Amino acid sequence: MPSNKTLLLLPGDGIGPEVVAQVRRVADWMAKNRAVGFDLKEGLVGGCSIDKNDSPLTDETMADAMEADAVLLGAVGGPKWDAVDFAIRPEAGLLRLRKDMELFANLRPAIVFPALADHSTLKREVVEGLDILIVRELTGGVYFGEPRGIFNLPDGQRKGVNTQVYTTSEIHRVAAVAFDLARKRSNKVCSVEKMNVMESGRLWREEVTKLHKEKFADVELSHMLADNCAMQLVRYPKQFDVIVTDNLFGDMLSDEAAMLTGSLGMLPSASLGATDATGKRKALYEPVHGSAPDIAGKNVANPIATLLSFAMMLRYSFDMGDDADLIEKAIRRVLDDGVRTGDIASAETAKVSTSGMGDHVLKALDSLAR
């Protein structure tokens, strides 16, 4: 028997605890039915950690994250913490996890489930069958660049500064992940920057081109300016397979891509570090949606993005592709059966609660595993 996998759950704020609770149920199901045990540990991140510890992420929880085989995070933030010091805002906990675990590659797939094609704000024919993957650089760029800060000027004005900065190796390692993943998909990568305005964008394009020539010439590579990419994503999104881009553009373009699928409540993500000598890599999985404070605690949030994030964990951290497939299939079946949380419901469909959606997924797992 392989030893149990240690999994750190960080439910966080807002709807985080409700959606992560559904993953617990699926993990229990797997332990019972698929002979894979998880040692689940739970910790605080974000506002709930500020309330208890005056810090959005304690050193102890950071250490737990470093030790775990994988981390699953719900969401952080909310208006309750709007007034806390910028340095210890809830989001700082998430950013520290990303930075200290060196999770430089953020995978954000946007897949349109057939049952939801009419739910997108775009026409069915534009989004039907869509399956794209945004690979966002996650530990560099303007999110972390120095100098940064708000400075007082001698004339009494203030100056806000952030720095967009990338090095060759930072560009190469994230582009390599994108090329590798493209090989297992439709073999196309579109690299996105603003080389018409920014030197960092110019370097990005040059280095991606160089790496492509050296190691990934079999993959089809194109380049696009970020503003054009934003437009192309709503004009003709199916032209894309894998998009690789920097931290800030990736943040924006992935929200845009998410909405193509009908709801932000459907989108999972994986944040991966480098593979070590033993083949292991640090990883954090989280739904792309935020803490949705307006619906928190009401048992109405859609847990699918978090369940799909758990499936990504099985695939990328534990090489359990079959089990990941099973969860994805169960979710597909539930959607085909017309089961809907509020965010994906239409006038004709009844709404289920967060835990109700969990019930349906477990039932579908039961019948698929039979």
Concerning whether 194 is annotated as a catalytic residue, the answer is yes
Min dist CB 332 to ligand IPM, Å, is 25
Q: Which of 255, 329, 359, 363 is catalytic?
A: 255
Question: Does 251 qualify as catalytic in the annotation?
Answer: yes
Concerning whether 276 is annotated as a catalytic residue, the answer is no
Does the annotation count 316 as an active-site position? no
Check if 227 is active-site: yes
Tell which one of 8, 94, 117, 244 touches ligand IPM (CB under 6 A): 94
Residue with token string 């497939």? 325
Q: Is there binding between residue 137 and Mg ion (CB under 5 A)?
A: no
Given 39, 85, 218, 227, the catalytic residue? 227
Binding mask 138-157 for Mg ion (x = CB under 5 A): --------------------
Of the pair 170, 251, the CB lying nearest ligand IPM is at 251
Query: Which of 13, 143, 246, 316 is flagged as catalytic?
Result: 143
CB of 251 to ligand IPM, least distance (A): 5
- Partner that binds at residue 94, options ligand IPM, Mg ion, none, CB closer than 5 to 8 Å by kind: ligand IPM
Does 246 help bind Mg ion (rule: CB under 5 A)? no
- SS3 letters across the chain: CCCCEEEEEEEECCCHHHHHHHHHHHHHHHHHHCCCCEEEEECCCCHHHHHHHCCCCCHHHHHHHHHCCEEEEEECCCHHHCCCCHHHCHHHHHHHHHHHCCCCEEEEEEECCHHHHHHCCCCHHHHCCCEEEEEEECCCHHHCCCCCEEEECCCCCEEEECCCCCCHHHHHHHHHHHHHHHHCCCCEEEEEECCCCCHHHHHHHHHHHHHHHHHCCCCEEEEEEHHHHHHHHHHCHHHCCEEEECHHHHHHHHHHHHHHCCCHHHCEEEEEEEECCCCCEEEEEEECCCCCHHHCCCCCCCCHHHHHHHHHHHHHCCCCHHHHHHHHHHHHHHHHCCCECHHHCCCCCCECCHHHHHHHHHHHHHHHHC
Work out which of 251, 323, 328, 343 binds ligand IPM, going by CB under 6 A. 251
Decide if residue 251 touches Mg ion (CB under 5 A): yes
Least distance to Mg ion, CB of residue 171, Å: 21
Query: Using the rule CB under 5 A, is 13 a contact of Mg ion?
Result: no
Q: Rule CB under 6 A: is residue 137 a binding residue for ligand IPM?
A: no
Q: Is the CB of 42 or the CB of 256 nearer to Mg ion?
A: 256
Contact 287, 167 (CB under 8 A): no
Nearer to Mg ion, 182 or 253 (CB): 253
Instruction: Report in angstroms how near the CB of residue 271 gets to ligand IPM at its nearest.
Output: 9
Residue 91 or 325: which CB sits closer to ligand IPM? 91
- For the annotated catalytic residues, the residue numbers are 143, 194, 227, 251, 255
Residues that bind Mg ion (CB under 5 A): 251
Residues that bind ligand IPM (CB under 6 A): 91, 94, 251
